[in-house]
A and B are shown apart, each in its own frame.
Chain A
């Protein structure tokens, strides 16, 4: 494993950063007077800040390291996670869903489900979401400690406890506002830390044309067409034409529709950032503002992977190459750490490493703040101690942060000891999340949807995901096969060319099942909410948001048009 040696300057940069992170929490402490200040930022965050936080909360280090790894493994197709798998969904949540989230005065996504449907649907969502956030933050912590231990030789346990203490400190002091402010800092740090890496990598390749020429070699050596690594759509005609093993329909429908909309439109972790905005129009702008940098993120996180694999096949000016693992495959996950080590001298190395740490912490903090809100409002206030004073819930919010962080630490240790349990949990949550967007879509746009319909649709959708996963398998060597990869029902009906293709289709099955059964069961059950009760919660019963008095560049619709045009242009240019 590669090792980084840090100079005093690098350590100084890391120390300055941590001082600022805690400083922001300290400076915000005085303004935390009500539970809504702490858990919802008192609905007072400007949209550009909330927008960057919206983006950053999703930008954990697994994403940074994972996207670079995918860039090396699959090439430009990875950019679909942005251009197809994020931008359309971000436009949709901003234009069409935010008016209901914000306008309904719900304090969380599960609370919207309670207002729109009933208590059981809310509790189902709140419970699964709370567990998911704890484990996600635990996985982040574990991954960070493991990486720092490997790269710098720092003690694994010390890394876990130190990162948890820092995140806990700034959230405990300044609540969601502190998390959001820090996420913005982290956003700029990630951009400023990785941009020079891309610059140097490209220079090493001899510029863009040198990169493309090398990627042609990579494609040819795998037996694909010349553009397999350097284009996003051209190889998607059939699964066998691209390294990801997916075809255009699975990509557009599975990733672009079900998974992307399921995540960006219903996951409270990101939606919470938009709900913290100062008014409804600002809240609608949040995902749209986030979409602008999101469009260009492939150049920051996917491109390094493409550069790394290109240089591995044909060396550039320096001798960068990806290491080979004992099983003969490339160690794709090493892309970012290895490039930091290879290209950055002391000084800027500290900056790059700080960016990596920042991305771990933003992922962790995002989960902890989403957890304390859902715990306090949707679980504690609803089921444990209703009717208490606001100061009591502020107290609970603070202690939920401590409790959530401690359980995350436990989750990190579980991850360290039982890797398979984490795979299983990830899988279960994919099952729970995939159908959720069908529930929201019907709930927001069809007033006839009933609570029973929504709840049973969700359960059946989740079951459909599990059954589909149990009856299919990816085309992987027998040695790499386990129940977590599918086929655990004992009979494999279909073999997908890759795990990715299997995931996309599991999501499509789950969503469709939930959609069909929610409609069917709603039609068979009686409405329990009157039109009056559904005002502000359902499209046909809600007044359209008015924003004609704003200049055009502040109107969500115009922003959406510009972003859609930009995303389309990128898709076409890099097709």
Chain B
């Protein structure tokens, strides 16, 4: 049986997003100087969480329909 690729895809990006968000709380503020004063870990982490969540939601919806 093949599986819905959106499952691992969503899961992978949820994990990456979570890691980035957690890192943003651990990192000293001085680290943000590199990324032009922006907290890129927090911002991009949220984008990854949204993307991963979206892919996972689509996969689960397709599974429930079946």
> Could you say which of A44, A200, A203, A351 contacts B20, with CB atoms under 8 Å apart?
A351
Complex Cα distance A329/B20, Å? 37
> Could you say which of A16, A181, A342 contacts B5, with CB atoms under 8 Å apart?
A181
B23 x A318 contact (CB < 8 A): no
8 Å CB interface, B2-60 against A: 2-3, 5, 8-9, 11-13, 15-16, 19-20, 23-24, 26-27, 31-32, 34-36, 38, 40-41, 44-45, 47-48, 51
A346 x B23 contact (CB < 8 A): yes
Contact partners of B2 in chain A: CB under 8 A: 28, 31, 44, 177
- Using a CB–CB cutoff of 8 Å, the interface residues on chain B facing chain A are 1-3, 5, 8-9, 11-13, 15-16, 19-20, 23-24, 26-27, 31-32, 34-36, 38, 40-41, 44-45, 47-48, 51
B35 x A200 contact (CB < 8 A): yes
Contact partners of B44 in chain A: CB under 8 A: 192, 196, 348, 351
7 A-B residue pairs with Cβ-Cβ distance under 8 Å, sorted by A, are: A20-B8, A49-B5, A200-B35, A204-B36, A348-B20, A351-B16, A351-B48
A12 x B19 contact (CB < 8 A): yes
Contact partners of A13 in chain B: CB under 8 A: 16, 19
Contact partners of A30 in chain B: CB under 8 A: 1
Contact partners of B5 in chain A: CB under 8 A: 49, 181, 184
Contact partners of A347 in chain B: CB under 8 A: 19-20, 23-24, 27, 40-41, 45
Complex Cα distance A347/B16, Å? 9
B19 x A342 contact (CB < 8 A): no
Q: At the interface, yes or no: A389 with Cβ under 8 Å from chain B?
A: no
Distance of A34 from chain B, by nearest CB (Å):
14
Describe A's contact surface by its main secondary structure. helix
B36 x A203 contact (CB < 8 A): yes
Distance of B3 from chain A, by nearest CB (Å):
6
Complex Cα distance A348/B43, Å? 10
- Using a CB–CB cutoff of 8 Å, the interface residues on chain A facing chain B are 9, 12-13, 16-17, 20, 23-24, 27-28, 30-31, 44, 49, 177, 181, 184-185, 188, 192, 196, 200, 203-204, 317-318, 342-348, 350-351
Distance of B7 from chain A, by nearest CB (Å):
10
For the complex of A and B, 5 pairs with smallest distance between CB atoms: A347-B23, A347-B41, A345-B31, A345-B34, A9-B23
A31 x B13 contact (CB < 8 A): no
> Could you say which of B26, B36, B41 contacts A317, with CB atoms under 8 Å apart?
B36
Please name the residue on chain A nearest to B32 by beta carbon. Answer: A345
Complex Cα distance A350/B17, Å? 12
Contact partners of A9 in chain B: CB under 8 A: 19, 23, 26
A192 x B34 contact (CB < 8 A): no
Contact partners of B45 in chain A: CB under 8 A: 347
> Could you say which of A17, A44, A342 contacts B34, with CB atoms under 8 Å apart?
A342
Contact partners of B20 in chain A: CB under 8 A: 347-348, 351
B12 x A185 contact (CB < 8 A): yes
Distance of B38 from chain A, by nearest CB (Å):
8
Complex Cα distance A348/B23, Å? 9
